[in-house]
Structure 1
């Protein structure tokens, strides 16, 4: 089973970034379907993607371990990538007998203490399997794009640089997550690893295959970074900086931040809740919007000056 889903993705350099580490380097991945689509982390092929390749360009070399133990190498072309969710889809031209798609489990039914297995390529030691338990659920993983990936799975199965992009499996061999980060002060596993839940993978990957990007529901407004909002004395909620001119948000009357005649800053609307779900910062806004689809109707609670207003709005594909 393990040999059918393991891949070695060979581009990028190790990049130690801090206590919570999302390292680039030799990585892993999973066979998604019989068409040759390969799912891995965005950051595994981050160096190649930073050169702005277009879909269809070769961005990695993939080793597929066949069931008889023979490794075969393939060039992998980019199909789609989503930096904010740290996911990428590649494609190899491999025969059907080599492509054994992963079975995807349900991350929503996981329980703390449940056994799990991580497959990967730690430090270049390929075909490695480690065993542990689910040690935490609904953790926030901060992606390289500065966006929070909600619902993260925490595990004590040993995850090290090279495991990134590989599957986290339940005891039945179903993929419940994609290993993506470790908590470390030394650059190696400290018994706390994180995986993107399969529910997120199932939502994003089909979009990457079909459109080459994630099609995300949003407000089509630019939100001020938390630091900027705090400097402008916005302590609760998110400050609207810009509103796309043709957006539904503009038609609904959401106001952007502007400068007055004297050059002073006139604050735009501050979004403090969506459908009664409170929002304290930018990360919480994106986390809440992840649960919605394009076309969904929501009620924004906004602060406009000293007033608190409710604004009905239809979500659309966001350009911000």
Structure 2
């Protein structure tokens, strides 16, 4: 079919060769001379991987940090400010992956929200599996479920958004934003229990892996995770619950990490660091 996909400006990353296999003139943002990086979060943290970043998202996350300042989505170029979009065919994505794989066997499909482009995603995931036999992780906010996509995925990294992520007048005013589009509807769309349960059910029936990865920035998030999510979902184990400190920079992470670490230990949940920020800082393409 060779459908077109809208990718964020990073596209397939980090890479050192173009779709024809020619060496790119500029080194990847990692500063490393080979293609690939590591998965920085969750159950597969530390695994060498290539990333494919889809453009556009149905949510607009703006969190409040403990000190009262605001932190919006750490990939705004795939949500808030979708500029530099690449329109690229599935064939070309496959070519970029093939020329940059080396020994890497893990692909992370991320966004934005990849499920917004479900038809192209279905084709891409199926061909990555059938032609290259790769392990596929999808990073999703869990608000959209598609059974055909789910058939192709090995690890579902689901990040349900807590109430702290919802835009409000104070947040919008501080960031100079207007309450339109997803900024207006974020609160209505962020929580979809039926979609989350469908992901869990698929994983339990087909021996696939999943993680519910909550971005935590306030003490009140602990009760919300339990009452709004875990008490209303079935089929999960404590080892599937991940807490990730809110923050796109080292300075922001210093505010939230001690609180989140204690919260994870208190509940028996898993703490996930953001290794890529530790290694490369807050920048795209790493």
TM class, shorter-length: under 0.3
Structure 1 length as normaliser, TM-score?
0.20
Structure 2 length as normaliser, TM-score?
0.22
Decide which structure has greater helix share: 2
Asked which structure has the greater RCO (Cα within 8 Å, sep 6+), the reply is 2
Decide which structure has greater strand share: 1
Q: Whose Rg is larger?
A: 1
